A and B are shown apart, each in its own frame.
Chain A
Amino acid sequence: MPASPETAPVNPRDRIVDAVDVESFVLCESEREAREVIGQLMAAMGFDRHVIVSLDFNGPGAHFRARGYVNKPGDRYTWLRP
């Protein structure tokens, strides 16, 4: 039996205003490899719409910040759902 609106669990992702940033350091041998790894990581996290905001490859790998969009301006925002 489906849950009533009052008891339906809230998807925490629906509360994200616009995007989730993921910042970390990946071990890799080139900037290109870093981009591939980050793309796979964001897709695995369920972000269909993602972009690398910053990437700095040097030495052991790359310091990066990637962004997965939940709501973009003009969308029908998840945080407006009842």
Chain B
Amino acid sequence: MKILLAPLDPVHDAGLKLIRRRLEALGYTCVLLPPDITVEEIGEAALREQVDMIFIGRTVGYGVEQLFQRVRDVLTRQGVFGKIRVAIGGMAVTDELAKRLGFEGGYGPHTTIEEIHALIERNPELARHVTHPVKHKPAFPFRHDYRVKLAETRRYLDRIVDNILEWTEGKTSPGIRRARITEAQLREVKGSVEDYTALPFTREYLALCDPVVVDFFQKNICPPTVRQLSQDEIAAYFRRIEQAQQQFHPRVLQHDRKQPLVFIQYGTGCPMMDGLHIKVAESRGADGVLHFDPAWGARTEGLLDGYLTNAEDGTPVTYANLALIKRSLDRATLWSVRAHRGLNTPEIVVLAAYLGADLTKINIPYGSLCGGTDPARLTVDGVEAVRLAARFGMPFDIPTNEELAGVPPHKAFAGMLIMAQLGRRLGAKPILKPLLCHGPHILVQGWMEQNYVDYNCAKIRALQAVADFPIWPGEPIGFMTHDEEKVRSAATTALHAALCASLGVDAVTVASTDEAFSRGPITAAARASALDGIAETFRFFGQTDIAPSARVKEWTEQLVEQINRTLKAVADAPSFVEALYGGLLGDREDGVYPGRAGRNSVIVEAAPAASTARACRAAAARKRPARQSMLLRATKPARRCA
């Protein structure tokens, strides 16, 4: 088939040139006329070349309808229209307009080559063969050797990890015991959501819970702002999700690099609203999503159950809620459920694992100093959670959001590296999650007064100099550079993402354009806007790197030195737990303090090791209430309430 491509425009013919290349690749013979020709010349060329079809392109949009009416009249007078098929295209042309004017069809700026192919062949089936990108769930994190490169750093980290493992030996907590009960039940029902939710609560479990959880199970009283979703709501929701999945085509954000993967955080309060936001984010190219639970959930012993919605930020962690989210995900979407900071850390890892979550999140220093959990309790629970993550093959990321409270980056990084080395020792795959943002300490020091590039580069390079762990900046990137104005907010997120791409990190967590808006829930449209901005920025930079200024080298070296100094202080402390209480990884002056939730709840099951005894003596010697006690409790056998 021979096709004539004619630009009815003084200069613009790039679109037709592109169509020619693609049509020739499909085997068509094309004749492309030069720009600045008359309609009469187009008709003459069509007759002379004996073409089967004509595509006339008009880039400029004003008066396009009147113009193509005249085109039709001229071609009719020439005996072309009606004899040779004619299609029209351009910025303001739609298929509807073209057909209304009597043309074969129309093509606009978003028309695919498959649609043009279908138009030529008069075969709508061909338009359905649109080549959408195929997305597979990546093996994440990407390949790393997890080696601590600096001998000095490695030495300190190993000493600290030895101490943590020795200190936690023989200790347990209500959180660990609940995790074991929950796992036993999930094993019994083979992970089935319906069967698990239908199980009666156990007295053994409730004995380990706070009154709010006991009231929920025994008296059916929901916490304020929480309500149970009805079966009708759930059924209608899944119909919506199934419909969305049928119409879904994957989109790839990364233009010319494989990384960073782009994650969003969800936690509107309602799992159904979360699910819909996730579908919107997937449709704009997000690679992964992270579950955020409400702050009170972290300070409460025990988890609620069933399909629950919360009218405030943070979606309650229940097995049913997580299952609803899981069912909403595209098969290529990575899913992380954060467990890191509260009294239910090991239990959440168990729930996440049984639902097939790809990742979890655990950080003892952050949860102890910024998340409100007692350091001793979270050390015991955190080690158990890391063991569980290792057993279930779930990589875990280590957020350092204590920086947002004012902790200097080197202290947050030291805590993060301790968690990473602990994770490796226990056979897990840790991921470093530094903040890439205008944090309070950096703001006070004035290190980002000139730009947001240099100090952020120094932070990532310092971590890359210390060890080869996966790096996933968050949470979200660009925090405290956002603005309530949408365009500025999208721009700062997108530029931070481009910087991360340039630094070769594995992934990023990004905000919506509502990040700085705190007077109401964020919207699905705000998620789409931020991701669209990232797509354009990745397209703009491709594989081009951002070149920081020379001062990055000095800042990088300074950070490494400060990290090592902090690690040495922690290694020299009586114990890691004492170091947390003592503020070595962040103190009141930095804006953080040891949490109180779960204080005195560590349970000693076996004789404490020598180092534990030392720590207890040290705590007593400080002449203030010991931060943790060896609370002995008899374990009850598992028994269900009838």
Contact = CB atoms under 8 A, between A and B. Distances in A.
Contacts of A81: 236
B484 A18 contact: no
A76 B311 contact: no
Contact of B519 (A51, A65, A74): A51
Contacts of A17: 273, 276-277, 280, 523-525
A53 interface: yes
Contacts of B309: 73-74
Contact of A76 (B233, B240, B269): B233
Interface in B519-552: 519-521, 523-525
A13 interface: no
Contact of A65 (B227, B310, B486, B520): B486
Contacts of B269: 73-74
Interface in A25-82: 51, 53-54, 56, 63, 65, 67, 69, 71-74, 76-77, 79-82
A39 to B, nearest CB: 14
B517 interface: yes
B483 interface: yes
Contacts of A74: 225, 227, 269-270, 309-311
A15 B221 CA distance: 32
- What's the interface size class on B, roughly? 20 to 34
B483 A19 contact: no
B280 A79 contact: no
A14 B519 CA distance: 23
Given A17-B276, A18-B273, A53-B484, A73 B521 contact: yes
B502 to A, nearest CB: 29
A67 B309 CA distance: 22
Contacts of B233: 76-77, 80
B486 A51 contact: no
B525 A80 contact: no
Interface string B213-251: 000000000000101000001001100100000000000
B268 interface: yes
Contacts of B514: 53
A54 B485 CA distance: 5
A56 B517 CA distance: 14
8 contacts: A19-B520, A19-B521, A21-B523, A53-B486, A72-B311, A73-B268, A76-B233, A79-B276
Given A23-B486, A79-B276, 8 more contacts: A17-B523, A18-B273, A18-B523, A21-B523, A54-B517, A74-B310, A77-B273, A80-B272
Question: Nearest 9 A-B pairs (CB), nearest first?
Answer: A74-B311, A73-B270, A73-B269, A54-B484, A80-B236, A73-B268, A54-B485, A17-B524, A73-B273
